[in-house]
Amino acid sequence: MRKGILDLLKGKFLVSGSAPKNWMFIIFISFLATVMIASSHSADSKVHRIAFLNEQVKELRSEFVDARSDMQELKLESTILRIVEHKGLIPSETPPQKIKVKTVKDK
């Protein structure tokens, strides 16, 4: 058993008669490790991108809520009256009346 461990530590399995088979296996394992590392980096970058986009969504949602509340305030009748008073317009004292047009039906 001691001889097997020493042969492994010295790397005799890389120069023995079945070395090409061992080298192919080592290259295959190295390729798989490289693919695994690349996949891990790709997943990490996607996680960071998702976190960044979630922050942007929160900011845009808060901007939307602010803009909507400002718009609702501008649509209030009191706000409109205040704005048009500066231009010299005042609300009418008499309410508007409906005009009804009677049509003559052809016979």
Q: Are 22 and 11 in contact (CB under 8 A)?
A: no
Cβ atoms of residues 14 and 22 within 8 Å: yes
Strands (E), 10-63: none
Q: What is the pLDDT tens value at each position of the chain, 107 positions in all? A: 777 788 777 777 777 777 777 788 889 999 999 999 999 999 999 999 999 999 999 999 999 999 999 999 989 988 888 888 888 888 888 888 889 888 887 65
- pLDDT by residue (tens digit) across 12-34? 777 777 777 778 888 999 999 99
Give the global pTM: 0.55
